[in-house]
Amino acid sequence: MAWHIVVIAVLALAVAWDLYLRGRALLKERGQARTGMLAWSENRKAFYELAGREFERARRYGHPFTLGYFDLDDYKEVAGRFSPLVAEGMLRMLAESARRSIRASDVVARLGGDTFALLLPEAGPDAADAVIRKLQGSVRDESRETALPLSISGGVVTCLQPAESLEGVIGAADRLLSGAKGAGNDTFWCEVIAPQPLEAFEPARLRRPFRLPPGFDMPMPPPLRRL
């Protein structure tokens, strides 16, 4: 009879220990989620403050300015198919790939969820194109090495002539991102705002798309409103 009591006591202790460990893991996960949300909020604020300063500097000195957005393709489906932890790990791999792909003067920030922003100060079309090509190549390498469905889509705007406002550039990049995602996975839509001298000798801001990275012969987005 005594050994029955011992067995029951041991089982009770095991169950209690298991519940304790599960509770600690849940609290840790919730704490990390809160920390992540704070980090995203801080990232957003810091990114747009820096983008505002770089935008004004580009306007003042007539330098090129590039801003873009990108996110992980089919993120919700990936999170549902695997687990939130795997999906979060994929986003961290994406962030590391982005950091390896940008120049020392560039900035990449995770704005929240699976959305990232790129700021490429003084980057013209060729420099921006090179960064995007390198980023896509790095993500493809990660996908091959991990056998995870990693791919990204994005929208990038390069200003060779100053736009009227940073908000206009942000809106254009966001619309390009939406168009690229609608065209299919692993796609970037890019656009240049360039001066075009007219007969009246007044520069006009005209838009023209520059070439996509090789291997993505996608239709270009329809003309957007002038900034």
Percent helix / strand / coil, the chain, rounded to 5: 55, 20, 25
User: What sign has the CA pseudo-torsion 53, 109, 153, 175?
Assistant: negative
Domains annotated for the chain, with CATH where assigned, are 39-208 (3.30.70.270)
Distance CA 176, CA 168 (A): 12
Contact indicator for 102, 118 with CB cutoff of 8 Å: yes
In the prediction, which pLDDT does 58 show?
A: 93
In the prediction, which pLDDT does 69 show?
A: 97
Contact indicator for 192, 209 with CB cutoff of 8 Å: yes
Give average pLDDT by consecutive 10-residue segment, the chain, 227 residues.
51 43 41 40 83 93 94 87 84 91 91 92 94 94 90 95 88 94 93 69 41 38 42
The two tokens of residue 35 are 């920390």
In the prediction, which pLDDT does 17 show?
A: 42
In the prediction, which pLDDT does 225 show?
A: 41
| pLDDT tens per residue, range 87-135 | 888 899 999 999 999 999 999 999 988 999 999 999 999 999 999 999 9
Q: Rounded to whole angstroms, what are the CA distances from 47 to 58, 107, 135?
A: 16, 8, 19
Place of tokens 């007219």: 198
Q: Count the alpha carbons within 13 Å of 87 in the hemisphere toward its beta carbon.
A: 16
